[in-house]
């Protein structure tokens, strides 16, 4: 497959480049543009980013492989990152992961045959007080998960209904 940015993408890339005194810092946001356009940043997409920014391929590859949020291979339309860090473990993170494996008919790290879902096990999503939780395609957190809530999420995503951002109420702290 030949990857090409759209005219709109190239205009956005030029705006990004104009924010920096040199081009290297534009690598991260341009990789996001590429991932949003193609669904991943495999080596061919990395080459396109490098060529577009006139940077060495090794630099772009290094950035893309350093950050787990960049998908180095094709993923499902929805990537479900289930946290299994200690807080989530203790609150049922593995139960949710195994429930989703059964519901989707895949194991962690796999994609459904229809290309709709990729299921990942991840370390710490940074919201331990709302465990267990998952993240949908590097974007929205779904927290305080139960099997019923996970089932509803999957069914909503199948209909193309993405979850709303969940408002997280932070408890007020009293000064002592």
User: How far, rounded to the nearest angstrom, does the alpha carbon of residue 146 sit from its chain's CA centroid?
Assistant: 21
Counting every residue written for the chain, the total comes to 176
- Provide mean pLDDT across the span 47-69: 95
Spell out the domain ranges in the chain: 7-66, 78-158
Class of domain 7-66 as given by CATH: mainly alpha
Please tell me whether the overall predicted TM-score, pTM, comes out greater than 0.75 for this model: yes
Is the separation of the CB atoms in 41 and 11 below 8 Å?
no
Assign 126 a pLDDT band (cuts: 50, 70, 90).
confident
Assign 68 a pLDDT band (cuts: 50, 70, 90).
confident
- Identify the architecture of domain 78-158 in CATH: 3-Layer(aba) Sandwich (3.40)
How far separated are the first and last CA of the chain, in Å rounded? 62
């Amino acid at each position: 497959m030949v990857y090409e940015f759209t005219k709109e993408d190239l205009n956005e890339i030029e705006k990004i480049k104009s924010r920096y005194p040199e081009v290297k810092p534009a690598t991260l946001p341009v990789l996001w543009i590429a991932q949003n356009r193609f669904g991943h940043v495999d080596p061919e997409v990395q080459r396109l980013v490098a060529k577009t920014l006139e940077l060495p391929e090794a630099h772009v590859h290094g950035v893309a492989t350093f950050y787990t949020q960049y998908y180095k291979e094709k993923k499902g339309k929805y990537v479900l990152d289930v946290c299994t860090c200690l807080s989530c473990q203790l609150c049922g993170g593995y139960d949710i992961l195994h429930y989703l494996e059964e519901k989707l008919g895949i194991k962690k790290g796999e994609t459904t045959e229809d290309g709709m879902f990729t299921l990942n096990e991840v370390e710490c999503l940074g919201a331990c007080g709302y465990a267990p939780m998952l993240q949908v395609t590097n974007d929205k957190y779904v927290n305080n998960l139960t099997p019923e809530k996970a089932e509803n999420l999957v069914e909503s995503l199948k209909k193309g209904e993405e979850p709303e951002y969940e408002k997280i109420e932070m408890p007020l702290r009293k000064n002592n």
